[in-house]
Structure 1
Amino acid sequence: MSALVCVARIGAAHGVRGAVKLWTFTEDPFAIKRYGPLLSKDGKRQFEVATAREAKDHLVATFKGVATRDEAERLNGIELYVAREKLPATDDDEYYHTDLIGLDAVTTTGEPLGRVFAIHNFGAGTIIEITPLRGTTMLLPFTSAVVPEVDLAGGRVVIELPQEIEGDKDEGEGLSPSRPRESGDP
């Protein structure tokens, strides 16, 4: 079986006729209807979207075979997956998270750093999480400046480690050269 990609998560029941709130992780929220049956993470359960309509920040959807609120409530929290090959091809500088997770992370000089553990987006931009060979986990901006190369065929990402910001000291150790003096500063 090919790699599965999480495309949605079922939320709370909506109404009394088996509808649920559905959060999608696809560029087009309605694309989930085109992938065919969606699978649970373990691949043992299948879900087919019968209807879907847009709501504020999610879809309201029904699944074939789910007709009551009680049945819908039992689905809350289930993540829905599709086989990787069912997803559309990406552009040159676009990647599915599943394609990046597990890649080796190396510096621009080829020094091993660790492996890509996860990709996050908490609203302020995409973050790449590197589990290091030694030391603590690194959370870095997933930008072309910090990740100048993604080599899927070679199984690696190249990381340009950011330099410490000059003047980034504990409070009380002086002013940062980039911060202008304000009235009242010593």
Structure 2
Amino acid sequence: MADDALVPVGVVARPHGVRGELRVHCLNPESRLLYEVGEILLRGSDGVRLVEVESARRGPKGAVLMVLSTVAGREAAEALRGTELCVPRTALPETADDEWYFVDLIGLAAQTESGDALGRVVDVIEYPTINCLVVLDAGMVREVPMADPYLIAVDVSGGSLTLSPITDIPDRKPRKHERGS
């Protein structure tokens, strides 16, 4: 992933009140990033725009309640429903050598220990019990668990990850966002 790529960190769920405050679903509930940024990028159907964050506070059920400088009133807040809140990749805290963000895995080449190509990672899905890499190859995808014995090694700087052979995982047709454009 390019260092200047946008990383979604939240999604506008709905307005909160009548003054334009937003109820935001935080994609990583453990992160403090939405509380600490002074500016955020809004990405919606009309493109991407930078806005100033006037305030952010904890809301009900893990939501973040935000006031943005350009949102005045409930109607303006309602118009943002479903809009992604993004930051540049460089705004995320550094990781240790053996850590990575899911967003860093998208685009990595998947291969076996012997170097046989298995495809390319096009998504990471977080299930309640396990996270899975979505690997696209020859027009089909496989959801590969991010656990032993499947995930052997990750080399983000080298652009690849190593998986055990995934012959026991059924493949399926890719969903629209998994087509690896």
Report the TM-score range of the alignment, normalised by the length of the smaller protein.
Answer: 0.7 to 0.9
Partner of 2:41: 39
Match of 1:105 among 96, 103, 110: 110
* 1:157 equivalent in structure 2: 161
What is the aligned length?
164
Q: Structure 2 vs 1, CA of residues 12 and 60 (structure 1 numbering), >3 Å: closer, same or farther?
A: same
Is it true that 1:140 corresponds to 2:157 in the alignment? no
What is the one-letter code of the residue matched to 1:8? Answer: G
CA RMSD of aligned residues (A): 2.2
Cross-structure match for 1:179: none
Larger radius of gyration: 1
State the Cα distance separating 1:163 from its structure 2 match: 6.1
Report the CA distance shift for 1:2/1:55 in structure 2 as closer, same or farther (over 3 A).
same
1:63 to 1:79, Cα distance in 2 relative to 1, 3 A: same
Match of 2:135 among 127, 130, 137: 130
Q: Does the Cα contact within 8 Å between 1:35 and 1:87 map onto a contact in 2?
A: no
Contact 2:37–2:53 (Cα < 8 Å) also in 1: no
Does the aligned pair in 2 maintain the 1:30–1:52 contact within 8 Å? no
User: TM-score, with normalisation over the residues of structure 2?
Assistant: 0.80
Structure 1 residues without counterparts, runs of 5 or longer = 166-186
**Match runs of 1:12-161 below 5 Å:** 12-26=14-28, 28-41=30-43, 42-132=47-137, 134=138, 136-161=140-165
Indicate if the aligned counterparts of 2:111 and 2:163 stay in contact, CA closer than 8 A. Answer: yes
Q: CA deviation at 1:49?
A: 4.5
Cα 1:123–1:26, aligned 2, differ >3 Å: closer, same or farther? same
Q: Identify the structure with bigger relative contact order (alpha carbons < 8 Å, sequence gap 6+).
A: 2
2: CA distance between counterparts of 1:64 and 1:151? 40
Aligned partner letter, 1:21: R
Matching residue's letter, 1:24: C
Give, in whole Å, the separation in 2 of the partners of 1:121 and 1:96: 13
Matched, 1:9 2:11: yes
Q: CA deviation at 1:153?
A: 1.9
Contact kept, 8 Å, 1:52 with 1:62, in 2: the verdict is: no
- CA displacement at 1:27 relative to structure 2: 5.1
Give the unaligned 5+ runs of structure 2: 170-181
- Percent identity reads 30
Q: Distance in 2 between matches of 1:129 and 1:44?
A: 29
TM-score by length of 1: 0.78
Change (3 A) 1:49 1:129: farther
